Chain A
Amino acid sequence: MNEIPLLHILFVSTALFFIGMYGFFTRRNIITMLMSIELILNSVNINFVAFNKYLYPDKLDGLFFAIFIIAIAAAEAAVAIAIIINLYRSHSSIDVEDADELKF
């Protein structure tokens, strides 16, 4: 457990965050953009749990933050998928470039 320094876990979570950012920048399909957001939220969860484990073992606050983030991410994914299905019904496409009615 303590043979791995905290820095290595932070390296993994930072790398995962920026992998999610890369997907968010390059993808133009709403479902894959949603997957990138899930990766970003998960990297934050790793951070919270690792800080709780390494720096504040006398508290459980990081664990509760991670649990609430998971709950909110589940609600967000459900609403996003309802919006995606509705968008597909009206536009027959889930590419963000095709949904430009509010753009101008």
Chain B
Amino acid sequence: MTANQIIFYLISALVLGSGVLAVTTQKIFRSAIWLLFSLIGIAGMFFWMDMNFIAAVQIIVYVGGIVVLIIFSIFLTQQSGNQMAKPVRNRVLFSTLAVLFGFAFTFMLINQHRFSASSDKLVEPSISNIGMRMLGSGEQGYVLPFEVVSILLLAAMIGCIVIAIKSRPEEK
């Protein structure tokens, strides 16, 4: 077993272990912190696969953005030290069964499938390659989805302001 394999299994254990704790712990703030560790583990897995750009995006957007947003909304809406109510036992039982059967079925299907790798010359996932493809309009160019996503982000930003704005009672 080489160091590379050991690193992969350690990262997998971090991702799965903190993922399980994030969905089972009874304190909501701890749940957010376990989610943070799980997302950092996923970024580590991208680093392990030599995809440096997407690992950096993962850390910036998820760890620096979404988890901080979730923690702020926890502070705005909950007493973060309180225990959440335990889920009903029947619900836990049947969700566990559904999840286990779903996992077994899906993994069985994946296990039977034979993946065939393409053997063309590889493209280095460097930042200059990603930038040329991202804003290119020719073969394998992604400029149209890029613009669509930018419109979507603008719409989401305006939507957030409209939804969360506090309407003053005196102005009718």
Least Cβ distance of A64 to chain B in Å?
5
Chain B residues, Cβ within 8 Å of A82 = 159-161, 163-164
Chain A residues, Cβ within 8 Å of B102 = 18, 21
For A77, the closest partner residue in chain B by CB is B66
CA distance A36 to B120 in the complex (A): 38
Q: How large is the interface on B (under 10, 10 to 19, 20 to 34, 35 or more residues)?
A: 35 or more
Task: Give residues of chain A (68-94) contacting chain B, Cβ–Cβ below 8 Å.
Answer: 68, 70-79, 81-86, 88-89, 94
Q: How large is the interface on A (under 10, 10 to 19, 20 to 34, 35 or more residues)?
A: 35 or more
Chain B residues, Cβ within 8 Å of A31 = 28, 32, 70, 73-74, 77-78
| With A27-B23, A88-B77 already in contact, 9 other A-B pairs whose C-beta atoms are closer than 8 Å | A12-B16, A35-B31, A38-B66, A39-B23, A54-B115, A56-B118, A60-B123, A60-B133, A70-B58
Interface residues of A, Cβ cutoff 8 Å to B: 1, 3-4, 6-12, 14-16, 18-23, 25-29, 31-32, 34-36, 38-39, 42, 45-46, 49-50, 52-61, 63-64, 66-68, 70-79, 81-86, 88-89, 94
